Amino acid sequence: MATMREAALREIVCDTETTGLDPLKGDRLVEIGCIELINRIPSGQTFHTYVNPERDMPAEAFNVHGLSAEFLQTHRKFAEVADDFVAFIGDAPLIAHNASFDLGFVNAELTRAGKTALVRERVVDTLVLARRKFPGTSNRLDDLCARFGVDNSRRTKHGALLDAELLAEVYLELIGARQASLVLAQSGASAASGRRSAVRGRTAPLTLRVSDAEREAHRAFIATFGVAAIWNDYVEPAAEAPQADAK
């Protein structure tokens, strides 16, 4: 029998930062961030690493993520973190925004490290999902955060782990999997729209549908459980017959 974790849906939300736009022209991976989802809920398990690209950092890329060549030189090369990355993602579906970009860089690094490249079929592209849901509009990650009310105020620069966290929230919104709040802010509020709905009281109480005979039959049934039965805490005692006044 499969364990609960084996039976659960496991997905990995992934984001990367790079030295540029094209791995075929010498651009390299410099950061990977991954968030694990179990049954569409963040599990708290993450994978994050900076990567030494073994090259300089163009100014255009530095302005995007703020990672300098000097800083990255103190971190491991991709070949040294490849096994940890592959072990973390396992065979789970990968969720990425503009997935062809991330997949291209990851596969270039995996190939360079002598590892098996990832197949395109296991990747879900949230940019494609967003374009289907919101055609004709801008669907950058920041735009989607604003559209869904996801707080991205910490995103002053791109960062792989932070962007993966934001993307996880956006992904759940895109597929309609975010859990609805069960707490109503006020009585009579509509959980779906947040608007107050009119609450009307009954003009007359409902007619009792239980007869006195049925009540007595129920009390007799409860009595068969004994005096210690918990039912006795909730059953009204039978009304006592009125007694004649003393003369």
- The whole-number pLDDT of residue 139 equals 97
Superfamily of domain 8-174: Ribonuclease H-like superfamily/Ribonuclease H (3.30.420.10)
Average pLDDT for 113-119: 97
Choosing from 48, 75, 158, 218, the catalytic residue is 158
230 - beta bridge partners?
none
Task: Provide the pLDDT for residue 235.
Answer: 62
Cα dist. 1→4, 38, 61, 105, 184 in Å?
9, 19, 49, 38, 40
Q: Extract the tokens encoding 73.
A: 């030189």
DSSP 144: H
Q: Is 65 annotated as catalytic?
A: no
H or E stretch at 202: none
Q: Tell me, what's the pLDDT at 1? A: 40
pTM of this structure: 0.69
pLDDT at position 239: 52
Neighbours of 10 (CB within 10 A): 17
Q: Where are the domains of the chain?
A: 8-174
pLDDT at 148: 96
Q: What are the residues facing 33 on neighbouring strands?
A: 15, 48
